[in-house]
Structure 1
Amino acid sequence: MRPQASPAASAPSASAQSAAPTVGKEGQVSNAAWEQDMRDFAARDAANPPPRDAVLFIGSSSIRMWETLAQDFPGTPVINRGFGGSEVRDSTWYADRIVTPYKPRQIVFYAGDNDLNSGRSPQQVAADVQAFIARVRRDLPGVPVVYLSIKPSPSRANLLPQIRQANALIQQRTAQMRDVRYVDVFTPMLGPDGQPRPALFREDMLHMTADGYALWTKALAPYIAP
């Protein structure tokens, strides 16, 4: 697997892009491209220890670029560990470094559209999400997980059928899991014509504006642990 290659997506450094994929014990695949991101997180934690008993937001660039998390969820300690261009399997691979150590009260997870864009099937993405949750459960069995559905980006409108299928499969699987919530942000991001609403996106038509994050905050707020 390689990191997201779309020109509009956040990309790792040139040296990172040359790193070979790595296969873990549990069949999860990731890429060493994200090693520098992990080191940056560790350095940040050493300089400013993250809050305890926080809500951990993890996933791809839609999480990384959510710079208003603290303001959007006032009174709730939050940690942002999104890394741009990542896929579901990357968060699973690095869970021992950016999930488990924080012992969060809750995890909010967003990833999946980079996966589909790189050629993963809806069935594979749904299985990857299930594997991520299983990985979390191994070390943090009582921590609730919220999965944000794959968003509909105008730049990836050609993937809408796959996104719909992946979301449906993930919703079905998470409905059978204890302490896992599926939050639909896909539907409210569509216009009356059934297409993504451009006003919710930046010029690249992939990453979101403040209005996009306001929509996510409204959809997610009822599920955030107080």
Structure 2
Amino acid sequence: MKSLRPILLTAVCIASSLPGVTHAQVNGPTPYPDAKNEAAWPGKGPIRSFGWMVDNRKYFWTQREKAKGAVVLVGDSLTAGWKPDVLAAAFPGLKIANRGVGGDTSRGVLFRFKEDVLDLQPRAVMLLVGGNDLSAHGDPKYAAENMAIMLDMVQAHDPDLPVILAQGPPSASPEAPHKPGARADLNTRIAKLAEGRKNVTLVDLFTPLATADGKPVPEYFAKDLVHISPAGYQKWLTVLVPVFDKLGLKGAAQP
């Protein structure tokens, strides 16, 4: 029998020459660029790259086939903090893939948006990001611009793909304070991003967790007043469940 090695090498060479196909994309997620190499990252604003982010993405890669056709949740630790059993109880039978990465900025989500989200051929996407941009004192304008690029990527991928675009919650961490008015600025910009985009549904995840003067309601947050408590996620569900229902995102077992 002739060796298969020349045939396999030829197949790899052909695959590697196709647009959008790289060695990294065949064998695993595209590695994060050097955080100090500003030009290697898409978008603008703060860059964060930590070891657990690499580990998270390697794990995501192993789940790609399982996650095909899911509703994909993408963002930072606020998204990553959703417990699978909580989501399963709230959305019975609905296939959900959580692609939240703790510490991620809008620029980091933009970098991985194609591989971690669009390549899953999602049924819908929920995007909640920007808090780490603000804690790094990044310009809200740049965070919104990065989100706009992601929405444009969705438009190019499938103009009918539903996107749930979330305005983020308040934060009051003394270790990672936001500049005064930064969250309000970013949430206003996020609202404007949704205007004129028929596939985008804006959701306000700020108001349900905020006091009348815009501060975190303590029971809805962890002690750091940044991360969300179990009660906070339940409060968010009172907003999200009707939105999912309106978009027809029912579980497989539901009519």
Using structure 2 for the length normalisation, give the TM-score: 0.73
Is the 2:79–2:128 contact (alpha carbons within 8 Å) kept by the matching residues of 1? yes
Deviation, 1:80, is: 0.5
| Structure 2 partner of 1:132 | 150
1:210 to 223, 227, 230: 230
Is the 1:58–1:80 contact (alpha carbons within 8 Å) kept by the matching residues of 2? yes
Deviation, 1:75, is: 2.4
Distance in 1, matches of 2:223 and 2:171, equals 11
| Structure 2 partner of 1:180 | 200
- CA, structure 1 residues 113+121, in 2 after alignment: closer, same or farther (shift >3 Å)? same
Aligned AA (1:195) = K
| Structure 1 partner of 2:166 | 148
Deviation, 1:113, is: 0.9
Distance in 2, matches of 1:136 and 1:74, equals 26
| Structure 1 partner of 2:21 | none
| Structure 1 partner of 2:72 | 56
Secondary structure of residue in 1 paired with 2:150: helix
The aligned runs of 1:1-226 (5 Å cut-off) are: 19-21=35-37, 23-24=39-40, 27=43, 33=50, 34-43=53-62, 45=63, 49-67=65-83, 68-155=86-173, 158-159=178-179, 161-224=181-244, 225-226=249-250
Choose 154-163 or 166-175, whichever is displaced more. Answer: 154-163
Root mean square deviation, CA, Å: 2.5
Distance in 2, matches of 1:25 and 1:118, equals 17
Is the 2:216–2:225 contact (alpha carbons within 8 Å) kept by the matching residues of 1? no
Is the 1:58–1:110 contact (alpha carbons within 8 Å) kept by the matching residues of 2? yes
Secondary structure of residue in 2 paired with 1:146: strand
Deviation, 1:56, is: 0.6
* C-alpha distance after superposition, 1:82-117 (max 9, x if no partner): 000001121111122201221111001110110111
Deviation, 1:73, is: 1.6
* C-alpha distance after superposition, 1:44-95 (max 9, x if no partner): x16xx42443211011001111112222222211110100000112111112
Secondary structure of residue in 1 paired with 2:193: helix
Distance in 1, matches of 2:138 and 2:198, equals 26
Distance in 2, matches of 1:194 and 1:63, equals 21
Give the percent of matched residue pairs that are identical in Structure 1 and Structure 2.
Answer: 27
Distance in 2, matches of 1:28 and 1:157, equals 20
Using structure 1 for the length normalisation, give the TM-score: 0.81
Deviation, 1:193, is: 4.2
Aligned AA (1:116) = L
Runs of 4+ deviating beyond 6 Å:
none
Is the 1:20–1:31 contact (alpha carbons within 8 Å) kept by the matching residues of 2? no
Distance in 2, matches of 1:159 and 1:41, equals 33
Gaps of 5+ in 2: 1-31, 251-255
> Which is higher, the Rg of structure 1 or of structure 2?
2
Question: How many correspondences in the alignment?
Answer: 208
Deviation, 1:19, is: 4.5
| Structure 2 partner of 1:8 | none
- CA, structure 1 residues 173+27, in 2 after alignment: closer, same or farther (shift >3 Å)? closer
Choose 84-93 or 22-31, whichever is displaced more. Answer: 22-31
Gaps of 5+ in 1: 1-15
Deviation, 1:21, is: 4.0
